[in-house]
Amino acid sequence: MENEAVQPKQYEGKVLPGKPYPLGANYDDDGVNFALFSENATGVTLCLFHHPDDNEEYAQIQFEEVTDYVWHANLPGMKPGQLYGYRVSGKYKPKKGFRFNPKKLLLDPYAKAISGRITVEQSMFDYTLEEGEKIKLHKEDTDSAPSMNKSVVIDTRFDWEGVKKPDIQMHNSIIYELHVKGFTQLHHDIPENERGTYKGLANPKIIDYFKELGVTAIELMPIHHFSHNKFLLDKGLSNYWGYNSIGFFAPHAEYAATGQNGEQVNEFKELVKAYHKAGMEVILDVVYNHTAEGNHLGPTLSFRGIDNHNYYRLEQEHPLYYTDYTGTGNTLNLLSSRTLQLVMDSLRYWATEMQVDGFRFDLASALARGLFDVGKLSTFLDTIHQDPIISQLKLIAEPWDLGEGGYQVGNFPVLWAEWNGKYRDSVRKFWRGDESQVSELAYRLSGSSDLYQDNGKLPSSSINFVTAHDGFTLHDLVSYNEKHNEANLEDNNDGEDHNISWNSGAEGPTDDPEIIQRRDKRKRNFLGTLLLSQGVPMISHGDEYGRTQQGNNNAYCQDSELAWMHWDWYENQHKLFEFTKKMISIRREHPILHPRRYFKNRKIQGEGVFDIRWINTDGNDMSQEEWDTSFIRVMGMMLNGELMKEMDEFGNDLKQEILLILVNSYWETIPFTLPKEGLAEEWEVLEDTSWEKNPDAPVHVNGVFELEARTLVLLRNVR
């Protein structure tokens, strides 16, 4: 029956009409107001539960009030901690895109907490599949409530103790990407029951670690409540990374140490407060491009069963199927005003109630798509720019998706920073020793002005990274030529094949001291380049000590020691940490390495460049012929801070100086004549990646500098 109704069990309390706004379950001292949007439903039933593992609800309330397609009711006297879900009635015509099935208990899209781990089971699928050449779905009548998670009513009030957001300027930021569980799961100094949790990440020892390292912000891989894919669970794996969101307002319950029935909300707030007290920011990696419900054969957990037509992009001619720009089976429909509202309400909630400092948008091109193409003036981007709260936070795009025309590096508008994939590829190619890379590297070192300057943007628009969660770790980048993803049980067919890596002479682990030394030096080169480049550096968790995933470049399903941080370091790992710490300190102490604006005379090629110069091995400006010569693998970038007047955000004049960065990816030492015109003859070596251990006393040089093979050097002119 298309208009199948649920026979309600008696609810003993009072039911008032309630209000259609705000959406979700909202508690005040008088009770709870419930509001759920569904344009195409014929009936909505609120189901109440005592415990997360209850097989059935103890009461049902059939909503009678509908305002602008929002179904609503108010339950006086109801308290925080109440568990609930929805059953939604309507058409079940999959070929026309209607998937209503009141036998399936559904999560509230606005739930601010969800009870426990979502393990997809067969009862959560709304169909049975008829065998044959054509796909035919028939309504499946098993009640999913016994295995389905429940939404939780919470009290959003929290004592922030007057702690304010640090409000660090973007150009002063140093971002550290991490996984909440993986970062602390093996940390010996954290109580065992707090490892892998929000509370563990807020432990003073972890905060002290970041303060010692010198980063300004942690970027958390997805902490919106997510589901574990059935196909992974069937293989004994799980969705470790968390790019499978189903609750855009709810902190993931598995990361809570103090309980999973609403307590996770305050535990996350305590984390944010602790980092803000320490002067650091918290950025969330958010996944609004798709949900955990997958394609047309996926489970029905929430959106599909509430209003499939509004929440998802369906193929216009065959609405059984989903338009998939994400590679996950579906794409959220931000052309729908209600779905756009959902995303904006979620962002504002995390910005205000949870006090986070910014967002990194996964596959952001999928969010910016109009009917077909990615548009810089899409409704989503326009809406964010007009929002007085969200527009003032750090907004970072992953500027690509899997659809045609989805690679949009350099095309997101002002206010947005971008993960700069061109930076990653250029730096990897140069330090691998590829030909024809110096011109490209020059742009990347100087803030990628070719991508951002003409758009009215700043160097901080470029989020520079060499590695991230997706792909090789830094150690594996210098240790493997090929991916080794056998542990993912997909016959090594998953993951990226184009890694731009070099194993330094042997594939994987080795005892060869020469290869080990070469790898350690190459890691220093990558980290040194990252932290000396204009733009905003992002360090992937564990790269500062050489974390390995044994060649696995797609550890999305590896919730194990393969992907977790290890805290028992050997000597070379301690040395790499100290090197990273020193490079971050150098970056922070020398503002010319992270200016707010591009250099005034910022042409990479040609004459008349004063505040930035590109130097050849003779100490002169690079010629056009040298830029075009494929075999050149060495150059210098000189930054003249005395000609680029900069002030900090308080109006104080910044220290002016002249720095010279030398890079050599040849396999032999190159004599490099240091520039002289208008400069002091003597230069101080601030860092040299060929040094295994920094000398105790400053090293000063003049004349010709012997630039060792595969080396980066930073010098300061002594004036």
Tokens 């974390």 sit on residue: 547
**Annotated catalytic residue: which of 362, 476, 520, 687?**
362
Active-site residue 362, yes or no? yes
CA atoms within 13 A on the CB side of 564: 15
Q: Which helix (H) or strand (E) holds 624?
A: helix 624-628
**Is the four-CA dihedral 34, 159, 252, 167 of positive or negative sign?**
positive
Cβ neighbours around 358 below 10 Å, total: 25
Give ∠ CA 698-703-709 in degrees, rounded to 5: 75
CA atoms within 13 A on the CB side of 502: 18
- Residues 150, 105: Cα–Cα separation, whole Å: 8
- Residues 284, 224: Cα–Cα separation, whole Å: 9
φ/ψ (deg, to 5) at 29:
-65, -15
- In 3D space, the residue among 468, 481, 427, 479 whose CA is nearest the CA of residue 554 turns out to be 468
- Residues 529, 464: Cα–Cα separation, whole Å: 10
- Residues 130, 684: Cα–Cα separation, whole Å: 75
**Annotated catalytic residue: which of 398, 418, 476, 543?**
398
Residue pair 554/484 in contact by the 8 Å Cβ criterion? no
Q: Which residues contact 83 (CB under 8 A, 6 or more apart)?
A: 48, 49, 50, 51, 52, 54, 115, 150, 151, 152, 153, 261
Residue pair 562/550 in contact by the 8 Å Cβ criterion? yes
Residue type at 28 in one-letter notation: D
Cβ neighbours around 306 below 10 Å, total: 27
Percentages helix, strand, coil for the chain (3-state, rounded to 5) are 25, 20, 55
Active-site residue 543, yes or no? no
Q: Which helix (H) or strand (E) holds 531?
A: helix 513-532
Tokens 């919730």 sit on residue: 559
Residue pair 105/84 in contact by the 8 Å Cβ criterion? no
Q: Which residues contact 382 (CB under 8 A, 6 or more apart)?
A: none
Q: Which residues contact 629 (CB under 8 A, 6 or more apart)?
A: none
**Is the four-CA dihedral 171, 412, 425, 608 of positive or negative sign?**
negative
Residue 37, helix vs strand vs coil: strand
Residue pair 718/702 in contact by the 8 Å Cβ criterion? no
User: Residue 350 CA to chain centroid, in angstroms?
Assistant: 15
ω into 76 cis (within 30 of 0): no
CA atoms within 13 A on the CB side of 271: 32
- In 3D space, the residue among 46, 672, 563, 48 whose CA is nearest the CA of residue 306 turns out to be 46
**Active-site positions?**
362, 398
